[in-house]
Amino acid sequence: MIGDEDAYLRLEYPRIDVEDCIEEVELLTLTNQLKAPIETVEIDLLDPTDGLDVEIVDVPETPIDVGESGTVTARVRCENEDEGSVGFEIDVDGDDLAVEAHRTDADAVEVDCNCPVLALKGISFVAFCGNGIEEGDVEISAIQAVDDDWNPVKVEWKSNVDVDEVVVKAGTEWYRFDYHGGARGGTVSSDEEDADAFKEVVGNAQTFVFDDEGDSDDDEEYDGPERSPSSPCLDQDGVKIDADDDEFGLPD
């Protein structure tokens, strides 16, 4: 724990562990040891290490009375498995008081990243399939990515209705994740080992089925419903979210 216990503005900022490439964390806690309430809190982030992106999500509610504390929350995104750091500048004001603090270099917030580089294709879209599912029923958030453009390869999702399956498209590859009995949340990726079914669709083919659904490439002619980029759910209601939609939850 790094901090300034005896200062008029006490700052505490533990070392941060980021386990899944993106995490919302308590960046620092400030305690008012001044002689009057703190009326405003402003914080700027300084010089994050390469491969580390930090965004302030929330600052403490004010006023902060004498002896009370508040927490600064941030969203931390890692692009590797290295150690990193981010400095900050914080200004607090109130009646007859003004305090400014800078923390950089050796006194910066330290971050341990656990975001392995993955040899996976970036996701183009994710489709959620289930009876009665509609636009707005599902929230999605990218948690792992590849390359400098932050193309997502793993996402978390949650829904307010039951989802029977999730279909992921990445390049020419398709992945199906089954939720027998329905689910309202989970994690999906463009990793064949994670999926319940996988299919690569190449050439001019725009329609297909997964092998366990009946393969139209077999000698026996298949005449049932098929999947396509415009209709990824098989004979079922569905909601499709593209990776370049704001809904996908990618960083700016």
Whether 44 and 73 have beta carbons less than 8 Å apart is answered as no
Name the pTM for this structure: 0.60
Number of domains making up the chain: 2
Strands 109-113 and 16-18: parallel
Q: What is the pLDDT of residues 147-201, one digit of tens each?
A: 556 678 888 899 999 999 999 999 899 999 999 999 999 999 999 999 999 999 8
Give pLDDT, residue 233: 95
Question: What is the Cα–Cα distance from 161 to 20, expressed in whole angstroms?
Answer: 26
Q: Specify whether 50 is located in the same domain as 16.
A: yes
Q: What is the pLDDT of residues 57-68, one digit of tens each?
A: 999 999 999 999
Q: Specify whether 78 is located in the same domain as 146.
A: no
In a domain, 241, yes or no: yes
Q: Specify whether 22 is located in the same domain as 106.
A: yes
Q: What is the pLDDT of residues 117-126, one digit of tens each?
A: 667 888 999 9
Give the sign of the dihedral formed by CA 208, CA 212, CA 217, CA 223: negative
Q: Which of 113, 142, 174 is the last residue of a domain?
A: 113
Question: What is the Cα–Cα distance from 74 to 88, expressed in whole angstroms?
Answer: 12
Q: Specify whether 129 is located in the same domain as 244.
A: yes
Residue 47, Cβ density class (10 Å: 0-12 exposed, 13-18 middle, ≥19 buried): exposed
Strand (E) or helix (H) holding 186: strand 173-189
Band of pLDDT at residue 206, cut at 50, 70 and 90: confident
Q: Specify whether 133 is located in the same domain as 99.
A: no
Alpha helices in the chain (DSSP H): none
Q: Which domain holds residue 37?
A: 2-113
Residue 89, Cβ density class (10 Å: 0-12 exposed, 13-18 middle, ≥19 buried): middle
Q: What is the pLDDT of residues 88-140, one digit of tens each?
A: 999 999 887 778 777 777 788 999 988 776 678 889 999 999 999 999 999 88
Q: Write the DSSP string, 68-84.
A: -EEEEEEEEEESSS-EE
Q: Which of 62, 80, 113 is the last residue of a domain?
A: 113
Question: What is the Cα–Cα distance from 52 to 220, expressed in whole angstroms?
Answer: 53
